[in-house]
Amino acid sequence: MPKAISKVKLIFIGVGGGRFVAERQYPPFYTGGFRIHTEKLKIHVDPGPGAVLRMAELGYKAEDTDVLIVSHNHMDHGSDANLIGEAMNAFGLEKLGVYVGSKNTVYEPHCNNIVLPYVANRFKATYFPAPDERLSFTHKGEGIEMKTTPIKHPEPTGWGFVMNIESKKIGYTSDTLYYEGLGARFKGVDVLIANVAKVKPSSWGQHLTVKGDFERLLAESQPKKMVVYHMGEEIIHYGRERLAKELKKAYEVKYDVDIYLPISGDIIEI
Ligand SMILES: [Zn+2]
Ligand SMILES: [Zn+2]
């Protein structure tokens, strides 16, 4: 009998991003990253401010994390990584977990790294893939394959990724400006979590925008599901529901895609 394919759950702990949202914490957006749960593994991606608190409020435990991923060395992506990193390794007493991070999250040349060496040393295994590199490892009997994707963002070692897990493909752009070929890197993923932080382009922040980037990213990547993630203050003020309505109307039929703007606590199954 072939093994039944189990569902993969995406759990949004926080959905906001950028320094203003990270430092002002707008409910029900918050920050704190997202989790990927399979039958065997619990993965936390980009635990920004409030991750541990929101997890406690939502009924998740920081110590129930097997793999910690920090895509780049910015506070809105990793300020709670130290707490989760310690908790998931038997509160610092036993090397149990896996860390995957951009090089600068631990080895920033001017010591502005978001993850403390003390915490990085608590893991059973650590990986620091470069942008555009393949990484595969097995942890607790579950195989994970990742291909990191380059970002155009002020963190030279940072990346997004395409992850193959449980026969599912999850794409995450992380923070980036649009560049030629960005969408093609995520072609055909089951879900693309796109850090579309702003409505209109501006010189500030180096992020994807709704006007200008969203449609070309969608057209190039053709995911089954597109998640607008890492919503910045401009999007929050514009109105999540208003934006969701506009994006769904304009693109869902045209590109045969489900468009989704989550709030903190939302879960989707793929
Ligand atoms: Zn960010
Ligand atoms: Zn960033």
Overall pTM > 0.95: yes
pLDDT computed for residue 203 by the predictor: 72
pLDDT computed for residue 204 by the predictor: 72
pLDDT computed for residue 2 by the predictor: 54
Burial of 215: CB neighbours in 10 Å, binned 0-12, 13-18, 19+? middle
CA of 31 to the centre of ligand 2 (A): 13
The answer, yes or no, to whether the previous bond of 201 is cis (omega within 30 of 0) is: no
CA of 155 to the centre of ligand 2 (A): 7
**Strands, E, within 13-97: which ranges?**
34-37, 42-45, 67-70
Average pLDDT per 10 consecutive residues for the chain, totaling 270 residues: 74 97 97 97 98 98 98 98 98 98 98 98 98 98 97 97 97 97 97 96 85 96 98 97 98 98 97
pLDDT computed for residue 201 by the predictor: 85
Residue 135's closest CA among 106, 111, 107, 103?
103
Q: Which residues surround ligand 2, an ion (CB under 5 A)?
A: 74, 175
- Name the CATH superfamily for 9-264: Ribonuclease Z/Hydroxyacylglutathione hydrolase-like (3.60.15.10)
CA of 152 to the centre of ligand 1 (A): 12
d(CA 98, CA 89): 9
Q: Which residues surround ligand 1, an ion (CB under 5 A)?
A: 17, 76, 175
Task: Give the DSSP letter string of 139-206.
Answer: ETTEEEEEEEEE--SS-TT-EEEEEEETTEEEEE--S----TTTGGGGTT-SEEEEEEEESS--SSS-
CA of 17 to the centre of ligand 1 (A): 5
pLDDT computed for residue 150 by the predictor: 98
Q: Are 232 and 16 in contact (CB under 8 A)?
A: yes
